[in-house]
A and B are shown apart, each in its own frame.
Chain A
Amino acid sequence: MTLWLERHVPKLVLAPTFIAILLFVYGFIAWTGWISLTKSRLMPKYDIEGFQQYDRLFAAPRWDVAMNNLYIFGALFIVISMVLGLLLAILLDQKIRTEGVLRTIYLYPMALSMIVTGTAWKWILNPGLGLEKVVQGWGFENFTFDWLVNPDYAIYTIVIAAVWQASGFVMALFLAGLRSVDTEIIKAAQVDGIPTTRIYTAIIIPSMAPIFLSAFIVLSHLAIKSFDLVIAMTNGGPGYATDLPATYMYAMAFSRGDLGQAASSAMIMMLVVFTIVVPYLYSELRTRND
């Protein structure tokens, strides 16, 4: 009996979560997939009609804008956050005296909710209230910074706010990575008289590859599910210039009573996540098996 328990307790303990995940994650993914093949409008309908929701989705100019914005936002957000985070981490790694304080300051934005970040940046970037007005008040009459209300540039203001929020977190990740590099190797390199920049580019950064991957995965899923920041900052506007797939899905499901369309956009979002996560899982599992 005790032997049986010993062998089965882990399974028994895990079973409820396993069932819950099976139902609430995979079950609802399947449900959404089903709905995306129907003509559901206000309420779910279950007669499969084929892929016409996807045809409609790909024909919609607004969806095009949303996907383009996702690429622009995702690429810039991930790259800039990583570069800034790495830079900050290297600078903090120079054994400076106030590291603890600085680290906290940089990490703090992560503690804010995206809604707060979005609202604050909305005010800062508003041409009539924020930066532009202040600089013009200083006497630079010709200064303009109206990206927030310019449909061609509004998406970049979202990138600014998101980078501000996330780069401190990336810094913390990288800082941990920098500290975990074997100091013996670094000391040996220093003894050999190798310049510091070369130590970083040739030894430290390459040995942090797993950290880069983790940072990339965390940032990319943040980018894809990004919703609250846009809602708070621009609410998708001007027009629908800053729509992202998540805000598109919300509008279809909850404002327009177009469940089928919302479900099909959700499925596409999931596919985008899969194309990023599946290679990661694959590489992770393969190294484990070696």
Chain B
Amino acid sequence: MKFTVFAAATAALCALATTSVAEPQAEVLHWWTSGGEAKSVAVLQQEFKDNGGTWTDMPVAGGGGDAAMTALRARVLSGNAPAAVQLKGPAIQEWYEEGVLSDISAVAEENGWADVLPAAIAEHMKCEGTWCAAPVNVHRVDWIWANAQVLADNGIEMPTTWEEFNAAADKLQAAGITPLAHGGQAWQDATVFETVVLGLGGPEFFHKALVELDPEALGSDTMKASFDQMRKMRGYVDQNFSGRDWNLATAMVMNGEAAFQIMGDWAKGEFLAAGKTPGKDFLCASTPGEGYLYNVDSFAMFDVDGADKEEGQALLAKLIVGPSFQKVFNLNKGSIPVRTDVSLDEFDMCAHTSSEEMAASSESGSLLPSYAHGMALRGAQSGAITDVVTAHFNSDMSSDDAVEMLVNAVAAVQ
């Protein structure tokens, strides 16, 4: 009885809302156009429609978001930005500085975002203290994936230090198995590099070097040691790695051609899609060393004109962070909910590990943004670092030269 009264009241309120204001509208620019991603965004679209909104989809595929950013630039320059745009990391603040983002603090406060989001991640969603973006998910970047059968056959445990990893890799190589499945694309080189820096230098060093860009840290011996490790890793990949896509590298681990892959948890989607079971067919663990590198997808909210559009934007923001969308979306996408209060019952063991370690590292202050995936630095700066990392990895450059190049390259884009 109580429930029906409540429902009736809500319905009345909704009716009131829809009569007093026009139907909520939102145009959403994103580049989730492939398989699982498209399915994930369709969930949001459906939920938005169920709440009486009109969703205008603006998917722009291509170039890992480059094409979408070009479209966004044109839209902003013509003074007609979409309501919500898939953006992440410091790019949100970069757009804020152009003066085109809107303030959604009202929605955030009403729904208590500050209480359910990890503090480090919430900070990315704010522009000078006001909320300007809504987080969708948390991808962990510092994962190491392994073929369980290959490890068992060769008597290898999941490595917990980089020395153990090297020892395991040497053993595998002697047995004729490619130790590390890797694709020679700049962003993949950078992904491996940042896990090495985190593992060898620890969270504090990682923050100094790759977030604050402290020249001393960048030129330090720890950084040299990281490049030494990268040189070792170069020896652990197969000869044919140049230009390989990450999912092909994942397939190598799946069919036992290679033992390990270092990649974010989107790789899990590949394993699951191939019908593999975590813990049995493949193993997931954080890369050696402590800390947690996150890659958070989010929607930045742009200034829009008109009550219907503002209404739509607020509704969209509310739904994105809402528990039901967070759960369904992340089950589809392989990531974990950004809210800490969503039940993980239906998620797999890798997601549980990810969630527990996110909570733990949030406490200890080692919850860190991924530089390789554009969470820590702006495009020009992270690009300059990636240039050095990939040039070193793909040549016989010495670690000393690499460190010197790194310091100079970062200084040039400050």
Are A61 and B412 neighbours in the complex by a CB distance under 8 Å? no
Are B185 and A235 neighbours in the complex by a CB distance under 8 Å? yes
For this complex, 22 residue pairs linking A to B, each with C-beta atoms less than 8 Å apart, are A41-B94, A43-B76, A43-B98, A56-B412, A59-B408, A62-B391, A127-B239, A149-B241, A149-B243, A151-B395, A235-B185, A237-B186, A237-B390, A238-B243, A239-B393, A239-B395, A240-B186, A240-B387, A257-B69, A257-B378, A258-B383, A258-B413
Nearest chain-B residue to A255 (Cβ)? B66
Q: Is A221 an interface residue (CB 8 A)?
A: no
Are A128 and B391 neighbours in the complex by a CB distance under 8 Å? no
Chain A window 240-276, contacts with chain B (Cβ cutoff 8 Å), 1 for yes, 0 for no: 1100000000010011111001000000000000000
Q: Is B63 an interface residue (CB 8 A)?
A: yes
Are A254 and B387 neighbours in the complex by a CB distance under 8 Å? no
Question: In the complex, what residues of A have CB within 8 A of residue B76's CB?
Answer: 43
How many Å from the CB of A246 to the closest CB on chain B?
A: 15
Q: How far is the CA of A62 from the CA of B389 in the complex (A)?
A: 12
Q: Is A148 an interface residue (CB 8 A)?
A: yes
Of the residues B240, B379, B408, contact of A256 by C-beta under 8 Å: B379
Q: Is A126 an interface residue (CB 8 A)?
A: yes
Question: In the complex, what residues of B have CB within 8 A of residue A228's CB?
Answer: none
Nearest chain-A residue to B94 (Cβ)? A42
Within 8 A of B (CB), among A104-157: 122, 126-128, 146, 148-149, 151-152
How many Å from the CB of A15 to the closest CB on chain B?
A: 28
Most buried by A among B66, B76, B238, B241: B66
Q: How far is the CA of A238 from the CA of B243 in the complex (A)?
A: 7
Known: A43-B76, A61-B387. 19 other contacts (CB 8 A): A41-B380, A43-B77, A56-B413, A60-B412, A126-B240, A149-B239, A149-B243, A234-B242, A235-B185, A237-B243, A238-B242, A238-B243, A239-B393, A240-B387, A241-B394, A254-B70, A256-B379, A256-B380, A258-B380
Are B387 and A149 neighbours in the complex by a CB distance under 8 Å? no
Q: How far is the CA of A217 from the CA of B409 in the complex (A)?
A: 36
Question: In the complex, what residues of B have CB within 8 A of residue A251's CB?
Answer: 383
Of the residues B184, B240, B241, B380, contact of A257 by C-beta under 8 Å: B380
Question: Which secondary structure characterizes the binding site on chain B?
Answer: helix
Q: Is B95 an interface residue (CB 8 A)?
A: yes
Are B387 and A62 neighbours in the complex by a CB distance under 8 Å? yes
Chain B window 373-398, contacts with chain A (Cβ cutoff 8 Å), 1 for yes, 0 for no: 00000111001000100111111000
How many Å from the CB of A83 to the closest CB on chain B?
A: 30
Q: How far is the CA of A152 from the CA of B395 in the complex (A)?
A: 8
Q: Is B177 an interface residue (CB 8 A)?
A: no
Are A237 and B184 neighbours in the complex by a CB distance under 8 Å? yes
Q: Is B181 an interface residue (CB 8 A)?
A: no
What is the interface of chain B, defined by CB distance below 8 A to chain A? 63-64, 66, 69-70, 73, 76-77, 91, 94-95, 98, 184-186, 189, 238-243, 378-380, 383, 387, 390-395, 405, 408-409, 412-413
Are B391 and A240 neighbours in the complex by a CB distance under 8 Å? yes
Q: Which 4 A-B pairs have the closest CB atoms?
A: A239-B394, A128-B240, A149-B242, A238-B394
Q: How far is the CA of A240 from the CA of B94 in the complex (A)?
A: 26
Given A59-B408, A149-B239, A255-B379, A43-B63 contact (CB < 8 Å): no
Q: How far is the CA of A122 from the CA of B243 in the complex (A)?
A: 10
Nearest chain-B residue to A241 (Cβ)? B394
Chain A window 213-247, contacts with chain B (Cβ cutoff 8 Å), 1 for yes, 0 for no: 00000000000000000000011111111000000
Most buried by B among A127, A234, A258, A261: A258
Are A237 and B185 neighbours in the complex by a CB distance under 8 Å? yes
How many Å from the CB of A150 to the closest CB on chain B?
A: 9
Question: In the complex, what residues of B have CB within 8 A of residue A149's CB?
Answer: 184, 239-243
Nearest chain-A residue to B239 (Cβ)? A127
Q: How far is the CA of A207 from the CA of B347 in the complex (A)?
A: 77
Question: In the complex, what residues of B have CB within 8 A of residue A148's CB?
Answer: 242
How many Å from the CB of B66 to the closest CB on chain A?
A: 5
Are A258 and B379 neighbours in the complex by a CB distance under 8 Å? yes
Nearest chain-A residue to B242 (Cβ)? A149
Most buried by A among B98, B184, B242: B242
Are A254 and B63 neighbours in the complex by a CB distance under 8 Å? yes
Chain A window 41-72, contacts with chain B (Cβ cutoff 8 Å), 1 for yes, 0 for no: 11100000000000010011110000000000
How many Å from the CB of A195 to the closest CB on chain B?
A: 50
Given A42-B98, A241-B394, A258-B380, A146-B186 contact (CB < 8 Å): no
Are A61 and B405 neighbours in the complex by a CB distance under 8 Å? yes
